[in-house]
Amino acid sequence: MKNYDDLPIYEKLFNKIYVYGQTIWKDKWEDGIVDEWLENYIDSDKDLLIKEQINVLYLLSKFMYFGNKELRQLLWSLYRDLFKYPIIESIRKENNNSTNLDFINNEFQKELERSRFLGVGNPSESGIHLLYYFRQECKLSKEYFINFNDIFVTKQVEETLNGGKRRPYLMSEIADKNIKRYIFIDDFCGSGSQATGYLKTIVKNIKFENKDIEVNYFMLFATEHGINEVRKLELFNTVDAVYTIDESFRTFSDNSRYFIFVPNEQIEKEFSKNTCLKYGQKLFFPPLGYGNCQLLLGLFHNTPDNTLPIFWSEVNEWKPIFKRYPKF
């Protein structure tokens, strides 16, 4: 039963953030980091400055950071909920709702052996990097993991033309005809540009070769918009994410979850937005994050640029709190 005064709002937010710093943000935390970050806000008179600091501290107190441990757990969820359970469901369905555990496990093992997991993007990017943890967490053999160029095999073949002349050319085909499904795994999907651009051709080629091959795109985090964009392509059999980021996660949207209840009258959505715009425009374009996503999201290995730039940017000597390692 709490029957005593709250701390003043500034200290209350600070205190909450300290607790995060000592616990769930532990692997990103450095002593003094919040004070340093607050020193970025210097463009106003003291009365306004305090209000700006209170508002950005409030946003910081709502920041969702997923550390190493949490990410590994999410990868396990991806495997279990998006990959394994649907397969088990269909095994049971096709076998009179069998509850025979040994049988189900055997059948699942067969399906697993005919599945291959792939990362999305360049080998130096996070999608590929995550596969290592994914394999560890899900205790999978490395034979289930391949690169893009392992999907197809290219051979030199010859054809005989009408005149009897022989013409050599290169032909690609699915390398392992026994494979039933490919699963592309990514950490984050904001606008869906990875899938709509980079993956599109590969998936089209797979389907061209064999339209029955299942190709799925699973992500740890994805905006509702991003998921819809990828689904619109109608290339993948399943597009899904462990953690779907709906419109309510867009910090300053009409449906923002962060401003339904605020703990103090000084915390205002419009004021917060203006503060983020004011400082954000010196840091990134668009000033509220890539695709104007306005997210409060950081991951252990990187912070998406869809997150508000005041949290991650390093330009113009800005001191970030959840630094982003940009792609060059």
Partner 1 sequence: MNNEIENPFSVTKATEFSDLEINEYWVNFNTEKDVSIVTLLNPNEYLPKYLIGGKGCGKTHILRYFSFPLQKIRNENNIQKILKNDKYIGFYSILGGLTSSRFKEKGIDDYQWYSIFEYYFELYICNNILATIKEIISSLDIHQSIEEKLILNIIKLFNNYEEIKVNLTFDGLIHFIENLRRKIDSQILNAAFTRKLEFEEVKVLFSPGELIFGIPNKIVDEIKIFEDVKFILIFDEYEKLFEWQKKFLNTLVWDKKTPVTFWIGARRYGYTTRETKSGQEMKSGSEFQPINLDDIIRKNEKLYKQFAEQLYLNRLAKYYETKNRKINPEELNARFCNKFEPMNEEKLIRDIIQRNNGKEYKHLKNLKKKLLQGIKFKLSLDITNENQIDSLIKEIKLYTNNNPLEQKYKIFLLYQLWFQANKNESFKNILKKVNIEYEKNIEGLNSDFKEIKDKRKKDFIAQLAKENDIINTEYSGIDKFIEISQGNARSFILLLKKSIEFAGIRGEKPMEEGGSISLESQYLSVYDTARWFYEDAELIGEVGKNTYRSLKNLTDYFVEERYCDKPVDTTISCFYIKAEELSTEALSYIDTMIMHSILIEDEEGRIEKNTKRKERLFQLNKTIAPLWNLPTVVRGSIFLSKEVAESIFNFNRHNYFDSLLKRRRDQLNAPNFRKKKYNNRSDLFSN
Question: With contacts defined by CB under 8 A, how many residues of the chain interact with partner 1?
Answer: 27
Pick the binder of partner 1 from 16, 18, 64, 209 (CB under 8 A).
18
Nearer to partner 1 by Cβ, of 33 and 87: the residue is: 33
Pick the binder of partner 1 from 21, 175, 214, 282 (CB under 8 A).
21
The minimum distance between CB 45 and partner 1, in angstroms, equals 6
What's at 223, amino acid-wise? T
Tell me the β-bridge partners of 208: none
The minimum distance between CB 273 and partner 1, in angstroms, equals 22
Phi, psi of 170 (to 5 degrees): -95, 140
User: Which residue stretch of 33-41, 170-178, 194-202, 300-308 sits at the interface with partner 1 (rule: CB under 8 A)?
Assistant: 33-41
Chain center to CA of 322: 16
Binding of partner 1 by 262 (CB under 8 A): no
Contact assessment for residue 148 and residue 120, using Cβ atoms and an 8 Å cutoff: no
68-95 as b/e: b if 16+ CB within 10 A: eeebbebbbebbeebbeeebbeebbeee
Contact assessment for residue 319 and residue 304, using Cβ atoms and an 8 Å cutoff: no
Nearer to partner 1 by Cβ, of 45 and 212: the residue is: 45
Contact assessment for residue 204 and residue 196, using Cβ atoms and an 8 Å cutoff: no
Binding of partner 1 by 15 (CB under 8 A): yes
Encoded one letter per residue, x for contact with partner 1 by CB under 8 A and - for no contact, window 40-59 reads -----xxx--x---------
Contact assessment for residue 276 and residue 25, using Cβ atoms and an 8 Å cutoff: no
Q: How far apart are CA 204 and CA 236, in angstroms?
A: 9
Asked if the bond preceding 286 is cis, omega within 30° of 0, the reply is yes
The minimum distance between CB 51 and partner 1, in angstroms, equals 9
Q: Kindly identify the residues of this chain, within the stretch 137-156, that bind partner 1 according to CB under 8 A.
A: none
Pick the binder of partner 1 from 27, 35, 159, 247 (CB under 8 A).
35
Pick the binder of partner 1 from 23, 24, 28, 31 (CB under 8 A).
31
Pick the binder of partner 1 from 5, 234, 254, 270 (CB under 8 A).
5
Contact assessment for residue 223 and residue 306, using Cβ atoms and an 8 Å cutoff: yes
Hey, what are 135's tokens? 């394999």
CA angle 94, 99, 101 (to 5 degrees): 105
User: Which residue stretch of 3-11, 98-106, 201-209, 250-258 sits at the interface with partner 1 (rule: CB under 8 A)?
Assistant: 3-11
Q: What are the residues binding partner 1 (CB under 8 A)?
A: 1, 3-5, 7-11, 14-15, 18, 21-22, 30-36, 45-47, 50, 264, 266
